[in-house]
Amino acid sequence: MVEVRDEIPAVDEFCDLRIAAGLSAMDRAAAAVALPRSLHAVTIREDGVLIGMGRVVGDGLHVQVTDIAVHPDRQGEGLSRLVLDSIMRHLASLPRSTIVTLFADVDWLYQKFGFAVPNASVGMMLKQWPERA
């Protein structure tokens, strides 16, 4: 049975699902500190096993949608909409002045929820730490 919950995933299942979905590996000690600081998190479980997730991080003035992932065995079944529905409900509860950003690996996922490439600014990302040395 598939269950959608507004809850923070545990460190190992979070890190494992990121990797399984092809997202970058995260430092597990850093994840243990960061996950409880989530503004909002959603999990999708089947028989208790994490198969989908997403988070909103930030401070309420600036927030970022992140860690959106569905296990490859369960992609293409519409599960990401359940994740995004929960996230959009959370975003709707924030003040209208809140700036909401994300880095989209797949823009088609977010466009239908109203996200668009801004005209006046361009997203930038600091190079990964190992490459900065």
Ligand X SMILES: CC(C)(COP(=O)(O)OP(=O)(O)OC[C@H]1O[C@@H](n2cnc3c(N)ncnc32)[C@H](O)[C@@H]1OP(=O)(O)O)[C@@H](O)C(=O)NCCC(=O)NCCS
Q: How far is the CB of 108 from ligand X (least distance, A)?
A: 3
Footprint on this chain of ligand X (rule: CB under 6 A): 21-23, 68-70, 75-81, 104-106, 108-109
The answer for residues whose C-beta is within 8 angstroms of residue 86's C-beta and 6 or more apart is: 4, 6, 40, 42, 54
Nearest to ligand X of 11, 80 (CB atom): 80
Q: How far is the CB of 104 from ligand X (least distance, A)?
A: 5
Bridge partners of residue 49, in order along the sequence: 46
Count CA within 13 A, CB hemisphere, residue 53: 28
Bridge partners of residue 89, in order along the sequence: none
Q: How far is the CB of 64 from ligand X (least distance, A)?
A: 11
Nearest to ligand X of 116, 133 (CB atom): 116
